[in-house]
Amino acid sequence: MLRRTRALIAIAIGALALSSTPAIASAPAETNPPKGLLEAMQRDLGLTQEQAVKRLANEQRAAQTAPGLAKNLGGEFAGSWVEGPESTLIVATTNASRRRVAGAQVKVVAHSLAQLEAAKQALDKTASNAPKTAPVWYVDVRTNSVVVLSSNPAEAEAFVAASGADKALVRVEQSGEQPVPYADVRGGDAYYIGSGSRCSVGFSVTKPGTNGGFVTAGHCGSTGATTRGANQQAQGTFRGSSFPGNDYAWVEVNSSWTPVGVVNGYSAGIIPVNGSTVAPVGSSICRAGSTTGWHCGTVQQLNTSVTYSQGTVYEVTRTSVCAEPGDSGGSYISGNQAQGVTSGGSGNCSSGGTTYFQPVNEILSVYGLTLVTGGSNPPTGCQNYREIYNGSLSNGQNQYQPNNSYYQSTVSGTHAGCLDGPSGVDFDLYLEKWNGSSWAQVAKSDSANPDESISYNGTAGYYRYRVNSYSGSGSYTLGVNRP
């Protein structure tokens, strides 16, 4: 099957809101990253240009490899991250006998990722009881623990005890952090809500039956609120919004606006978006916003809960990138992969700070959106098959082919399927047969790659293909040959 290499770097631009009254894939290394991206990484991460180039290449490979590690290790998986100046991939496991894993260094730990996430979930369920002195908690895969940040450790310990979380998995860390949501159609451009509040565009998206639009932070506007673009012209309407609990929204634009798969990288230039594969902990990540421009840092923790004065927001990602009011809703990028939209944080871009973003894949899945990428045409690697079907998946979504239905084979023979997905995702392909009472899986191809193929010799009957997004979003082509 044809495999594609797409050399476009996607730079997600972050923006915070300013209110007037938040099996192993090996990707090809990026050989020509934008000059502005390298300069920002050198400035904000203290790297040489050579280190920045190597880091981007290694992190791109790590982002492709990490989902396969989680699949292969199963219940013994305890998380993965990158570390060191050149971003070496580390995978944690509870299996003391496992010494080697292809594509990563191994660290043996006491607790699985599932155990840590269960402990964090116990804290999440009692978030309404969390003291104001303990606004942030997260799963820290690097220390194999759940961390609660607090300016009053005694109050935080009491909160942990009352939550029912396994105290052996949780540690309280002294911190003066007090995050606030930054309330203030290219990613990173400013837009205005109502009579004057300002946020920034996250990423352009499409949705069947609409004009398309963009994703942004939920605290920027409520469903039904209208927006104006950076040029102060009428732009669109919030079609969905959630805050607190989540901090995401999507805006449908009017016919005068065209969603484009790029972000405004300010000093880094105009950057095309190429996918939405999640970057491991420790990865470099950059953000741009209508207030502070372009800044970079690292991914500190995934699956973080952060409490603002309006309530708790769950499953956001914590970063060392700075931001300020006016940057809310804008986009984060790691290498060439969209990561999320800016929620809030603490500090500023003069003295430094901590920020949180809502992962973009969740937003796409919740609202049934598709990320607009730098390449507008669907993949073409399965065009030699007799039947061709095109579709688009959000993270975690299933689709059935042909055309959300099934087909009948009246003879025995070979059923062949070819799935061609976009770079940077993990799409899987399954063949199912009707057994008289339900659909039963008879063949599968579920590597950690975007492309899959199936060849199955079956008897006469009714069949269908299930296309699944294990991670990532984008368009795909399915080629089918029937007996």
As annotated, the active-site residues are 219, 247, 328
d(CA 384, CA 329): 42
- Residue 32 corresponds to which tokens in the numbers above? 């020509």
Q: ∠ CA 51-52-53 to the nearest 5 degrees? A: 90
What is the DSSP secondary structure assignment for residue 281, as one 8-state letter?
B
Residue 8: what are its φ and ψ, rounded to 5°?
-90, 135
The tokens for 130 are 């969390």
> Residue 369 carries which DSSP code?
-
And the tokens for 247? 């901090």
CA 214 – CA 221 distance, rounded (Å): 13
* 3 state SS of 155: helix
CA distance 121 to 128: 13
Q: For residue 441, is it left (φ>0), alpha (ψ between -120 and 50) or beta? A: beta
3-state secondary structure of 452: strand
Rounded distance between C-alpha atoms, residue 140 and residue 55, angstroms: 22
Neighbours of 115 (CB within 10 A): 19
407-409 and 352-359 as β-strands: parallel, antiparallel, unpaired? unpaired
C-alpha span between 95 and 78 (Å, rounded): 10
Nearest to 103 by CA among 140, 74, 65, 137: 65
Token pair 């975007």: residue: 450
* DSSP-based three-state secondary structure for 391: strand
Q: Determine the Cα–Cα distance for residues 435 and 267; give it in Å rounded to an integer.
A: 59
DSSP conformation class of 30? P
Q: Output the six-digit token pair for 224.
A: 């039904």
